[in-house]
Amino acid sequence: MTLAKGLGIYQQTGAAQTHSLVEQHAPLVKKIALHMLARLPASVQLDDLMQAGMIGLLEAAQKYQSSKGASFETYAGIRIRGAIVDEMRKGDWVPRSVHRNARRIAQAIRAVENATGSEALDADVAEELEMTLPEYHACLNDASTGRLFSLDELNESGELPIEESDASDNPLEGVTSDAFRQSLAAAIGELPDREKLVLSLYYQDELNLREIGAVIGVSESRVSQIHSQAALRLKARLADW
């Protein structure tokens, strides 16, 4: 067999495998898009999320390597979420004030926890920000609906997305990545119990905010606030990274 002929057969086989993976896992795109849509502004359309997600699925099918150890569904889920997040960030539909307030909240949480040595409560953070408690909760709601926090890019085990290794051969990058994973896992483990539960129900069990509210006995709006505070608390605790 000539090299050219062998390459042609290989390319045809690869294309067939990619098509099969995309066709088989297309419902996963809609499932993830619906899950993420639940905490986005009403102006965001499901079709837009699904279109971005399909691009992520196609890239996953083309780049998946079973030797990496993760199942294709796990790997594809990460790529789909990442593609949707990237598309939303490109859209620039979030007011700058929302990003600014999110940064202020993270900084306030860190300041309170550094000063007290214990977890920052809602009232403590509101006082640090010189806000009333309702004003602080309104900012948390804005942070939840106004941005896709990077936890959406985590997989079920709470680790970072599976990255391709062909970008760099620097061994220090692997050490840094492993160290960050450990720090992130530790930070999640040290969250207040209710915040850990909300993150677990949202990211692992894939419940929406309304369903989580029913489980823990609070309103959908309060779940949104707890989720945002957990995300910003993690951001504050991992600020050195």
What are the pLDDT digits (tens) for 179-210? 777 888 888 888 999 999 998 888 778 788 88
Note the Cα 140 to chain centre separation in Å.
17
160: buried, middle or exposed (CB in 10 Å: 19+, 13-18, 0-12)?
middle
The pLDDT value recorded for residue 128 is 94
Secondary structure string (H, E, C) spanning the chain: CCHHHHHHHHHHHHHHHHHHHHHHHHHHHHHHHHHHHCCCCCCCCHHHHHHHHHHHHHHHHHHCCHHHCCCHHHHHHHHHHHHHHHHHHHHCCCCHHHHHHHHHHHHHHHHHHHHHCCCCCHHHHHHHCCCCHHHHHHHHHHHHHHCCCHHHHCCCCCCCCCCCCCCCCCHHHHHHHHHHHHHHHHHHHCCCHHHHHHHHHHHHCCCCHHHHHHHHCCCHHHHHHHHHHHHHHHHHHCCCC
The pLDDT value recorded for residue 134 is 92
The pLDDT value recorded for residue 237 is 86
Write down the pTM of the prediction.
Answer: 0.57
Could you tell me which CATH class the domain 95-241 is placed in?
Answer: mainly alpha
Q: Which amino acid is at 152?
A: D
The pLDDT value recorded for residue 2 is 46
Could you tell me which CATH class the domain 1-93 is placed in?
Answer: mainly alpha
Residue carrying structure tokens 């894939």:
206
Average pLDDT of every residue of the chain: 77
The pLDDT value recorded for residue 1 is 43
Query: Closest Cα to residue 174, out of 153, 86, 182?
Result: 182
The pLDDT value recorded for residue 99 is 74
The number of C-alpha atoms within 13 Å of 74 and in the hemisphere containing its C-beta is 17
pLDDT under 50: residue ranges of the chain: 1-11, 13, 147-175
Residues 6+ apart with CB under 8 A from 221: 141
Instruction: Taking each helix axis as running N to C, give the angle between helix 96-116 and helix 133-146, from 0 to 180 degrees, rounded to the nearest 10.
Output: 120
Domain ranges in the chain are 1-93, 95-241
The pLDDT value recorded for residue 214 is 93
The pLDDT value recorded for residue 188 is 87
The pLDDT value recorded for residue 91 is 63
Segment 44-53, tens digit of pLDDT: 788 888 999 9
